[in-house]
Amino acid sequence: MQNKLLDLLKKTAKQGGEHAISAVQPARYLQSLNQKQVGVGKTILITGASSGLGAGMARVFAKLGYNLAICARRRERLEDLKQELLGRYPDIRIEYRTLDVTDYDAVFDVFNAFKTDFGHIDRAIINAGVGESRRIGKGSFEINRRTAEINFVSALAQCEAAVAIFRAQNQGHLVVISSMSAMRGLPGYITTYSASKAAVAHLAEGIRADMLVSKLPIDVTTIYPGYIRTEINEGAKPLPFEVDAKTGSQAIVAAIESRVEEACVPSLPWSIVGQAMKHLPLQVVSKIS
């Protein structure tokens, strides 16, 4: 009993150290993983891989030696990404499929087809998302409904498909891309977007709880990105603490590789901002958001 407790404490301390390094020095952490080529022989499925963070993560994971199963609606973008990455890392395997995540049957078909291609899916990153959202009660229900559907119901379909594969394998890592905007209900144009991202974060936490209760070796990570410059915020004026897609993707991959349960990325300043958002009065949060 005492030995088991000691082992658990050692494991927790080791994980804590790893999480801290991955958060504070993501580039250094990734460099050490790169030297070990931690991804060799493993496969990662990424949705929304045709641009922004999905494509950015694919680039970082490919460098670590992972095989990639990538999907999105824009086929030519996926083909270009495949050629780019195989040119640089000829030893990895990349398969792509076009997928509209609102076609729920297709979500299950595509995920299962990737499982057949590779024989095993080690990690699935539920990343596809849209940022369009409008003030509530101003006649924009269709836009808000579509955002809620893509960011939450479609994410639910993707989680269902991924976790079914992981249950059958008795192994896997589910990663859900939420947003810093999920920390509180937010006003104006972002209300539906932030609600959809809060919903997906709760979904991930519920799946994590289910894996704990069922004692299944399936990890669940929720990522809360701050402002990262991609197509989702194209044309927007300079955003608070914004970073470019490469920096943001590296910070996300470092957090994912540390298998932390939840991470605000980049960790600084967003882990501090996240705490402030949770505890400040709604009036203050609404003014600064």
Ligand X SMILES: NC(=O)c1ccc[n+]([C@@H]2O[C@H](COP(=O)([O-])OP(=O)(O)OC[C@H]3O[C@@H](n4cnc5c(N)ncnc54)[C@H](OP(=O)(O)O)[C@@H]3O)[C@@H](O)[C@H]2O)c1
Nearer to ligand X, 30 or 265 (CB): 265
Single out the catalytic residue among 29, 193, 224, 227. 193
Nearer to ligand X, 128 or 163 (CB): 128
Among residues 34, 112, 140, 233, the one that binds ligand X under rule CB under 6 A: 233
Q: Does 132 bind ligand X (CB under 6 A)?
A: no
Q: Does 274 bind ligand X (CB under 6 A)?
A: no
251 Cβ neighbours under 8 A, 6+ residues apart: 26, 243, 265, 266, 267
C-beta separation of 65 from 39 below 8 A: yes
Among residues 44, 45, 53, 110, the one that binds ligand X under rule CB under 6 A: 53
From 132-140, 207-215, 229-237, 266-274, give the range in contact with ligand X by CB under 6 A. 229-237
Residues 88-117 that bind ligand X (CB under 6 A): 99-102
- Phi then psi for 82, rounded to 5 degrees? -60, -50
Helix (H) or strand (E) holding 23: helix 2-24
Residues 6-25 that bind ligand X (CB under 6 A): none
Beta strands at 262-265 and 218-225: parallel, antiparallel or unpaired: parallel
Q: Does 266 bind ligand X (CB under 6 A)?
A: no
CA distance 283 to 15: 37
The helix/strand/coil state of 230 is coil
Among residues 227, 251, 270, 274, the one that binds ligand X under rule CB under 6 A: 227
Residues 143-162 that bind ligand X (CB under 6 A): 150
CA torsion through residues 255, 256, 258, 264, sign: positive
The helix/strand/coil state of 281 is coil
Residues 191-210 that bind ligand X (CB under 6 A): none
- Phi then psi for 142, rounded to 5 degrees? -60, -45
Active site residues: 193
